[in-house]
């Protein structure tokens, strides 16, 4: 019986449509699913002298594209090319500033939405992602390069007892013919995994170091209140649309930007503590007014990128409005509530969501 192997290496294309299978970062996957290749194809409907009632004579393939969903336990670095975990975020947001922290080998990467990411000098320009899936064809291991990838949305989900799960939705141009496998995959160190034990969630005061939006540090201040939910979900959608034009190609060659949106859900106890975050007060205030709040999520691995700077991920959402969620009563357990929020762009920071990643990669 053939050995069963399946793994992913992500490469960044300098020009969209030209596969990158050399400078790659290996990431572990939570599910083994190849991208779905989609074709627009149908019977050619023309009267060309045939007996049309006898059945169709020709099948026409008009265009192609692929869609992929990546489910990845989040690490601050990828294996091989450590920047590739952050590069996924870069291809969602477009805006990124990388800063060396002093004279150390630690770097801070600040990411935020850009409204001109595919323009000249706009951040991404014509770069894209190649998803290199390595899998068995019988006894032979092959690489399947899915080329021209765009990151459309990213979801972050944290539950107790589990690592932080990153779900990335991508769309792309085409799959190249199978090639020689990328042997010797190197995956990120387990100590760099963002885990539920390494997460602190705050609302309230935030200290941001540097000039907006290119902050080099973001942390909760002494007045911030820590929240301890049962579940945290953050969905960031770029609203991108990959389109096929009259350009002589049979795959999408233009990505049009939409409006960024951020949705947050917190599932927690229905309670009103004497100190700390009150889900009851949050629900009641939503019924009375349209006020806003904020959220700061910090996954600190505790592993030094260099002296004084740990590997970590910070998600900063400076302005959130409540959009729903009622308390859930059952006769056999204490009530819970899922608080639902939507982000607004904040004038002081210049973004509706910012991601700060600390690692040892000089750039993303």
pLDDT, tens digit (0-9, with 9 covering 90-100), for 341-351: 999 999 999 99
User: Which pair of tokens denotes residue 201?
Assistant: 């969630």
> Among 208, 200, 202, which Cα is nearest to 224's?
202
pLDDT score for 123: 86
pLDDT score for 2: 59
Entry field: residues in the chain: 364
Q: pTM for the full model? A: 0.94
pLDDT score for 4: 81
Determine the Cα–Cα distance for residues 340 and 317; give it in Å rounded to an integer. 14
Residue 86 and residue 168 in contact, taking contact as beta carbons nearer than 8 Å: no
- pLDDT above 70 covers a percentage of the chain that reads 99
> Among 167, 100, 112, which Cα is nearest to 316's?
112
SS3 90: helix
What average pLDDT does range 100-107 have in this prediction?
95
Determine the Cα–Cα distance for residues 347 and 314; give it in Å rounded to an integer. 19
What average pLDDT does range 220-234 have in this prediction?
96
Distances (CA, A) of 35 to 155, 174, 283, 344: 18, 10, 41, 32
Q: Kindly give the pairing relationship between strand 214-220 and strand 206-211.
A: antiparallel
> Has residue 120 got a pLDDT over 90?
no
What average pLDDT does range 330-357 have in this prediction?
95
> Has residue 138 got a pLDDT over 70?
yes
Q: How confident is the model at residue 287 (pLDDT cuts 50, 70, 90)?
A: confident
Determine the Cα–Cα distance for residues 80 and 88; give it in Å rounded to an integer. 15
């Amino acid at each position: 019986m053939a050995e069963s192997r399946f793994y992913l290496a992500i490469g960044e294309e300098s020009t969209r449509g030209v596969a990158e299978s050399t400078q790659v970062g290996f990431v572990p996957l939570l599910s083994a699913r190849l991208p779905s290749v989609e074709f627009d194809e149908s019977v050619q409907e023309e009267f060309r002298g045939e007996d049309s009632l006898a059945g169709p004579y020709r099948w026409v393939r008009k265009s192609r594209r692929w869609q992929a969903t990546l489910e990845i336990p989040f690490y601050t670095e990828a294996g091989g090319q450590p920047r590739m975990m952050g590069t996924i975020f870069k291809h969602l947001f477009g805006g990124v500033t990388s800063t060396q922290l002093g004279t150390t080998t630690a770097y801070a990467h600040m990411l935020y939405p850009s409204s001109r990411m595919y323009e000249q000098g706009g951040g991404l320009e014509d770069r894209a992602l190649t998803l290199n899936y390595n899998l068995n064809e019988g006894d032979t291991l092959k690489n399947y390069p899915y080329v021209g990838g765009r990151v459309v949305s990213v979801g972050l989900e944290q539950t107790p007892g589990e690592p932080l799960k990153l779900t990335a939705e991508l769309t792309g141009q085409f799959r190249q013919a199978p090639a020689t496998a990328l042997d010797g995959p190197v995956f990120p160190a387990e100590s760099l995994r963002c885990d539920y034990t390494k997460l602190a969630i705050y609302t309230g005061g935030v200290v941001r170091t540097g000039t907006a939006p290119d902050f080099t540090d973001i942390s909760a201040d002494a007045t911030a209140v820590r929240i301890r939910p049962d579940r945290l979900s953050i969905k960031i959608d770029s609203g991108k649309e990959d389109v096929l034009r009259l350009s002589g190609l049979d795959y999408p060659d233009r990505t049009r930007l939409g409006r960024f949106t951020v949705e947050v859900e917190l599932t927690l106890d229905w309670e009103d503590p004497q100190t700390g975050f009150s889900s009851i007060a949050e629900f009641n205030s939503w019924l009375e007014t349209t006020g806003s709040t904020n959220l700061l999520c910090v996954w600190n691995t505790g592993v030094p990128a260099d002296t004084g700077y740990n590997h970590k991920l910070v998600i900063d959402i400076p302005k959130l409005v409540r959009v729903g969620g009622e308390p859930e009563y059952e006769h056999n357990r204490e009530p819970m509530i899922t608080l639902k929020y939507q982000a607004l762009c904040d004038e002081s920071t210049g973004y509706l969501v910012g991601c700060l990643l600390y690692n040892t990669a000089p750039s993303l």
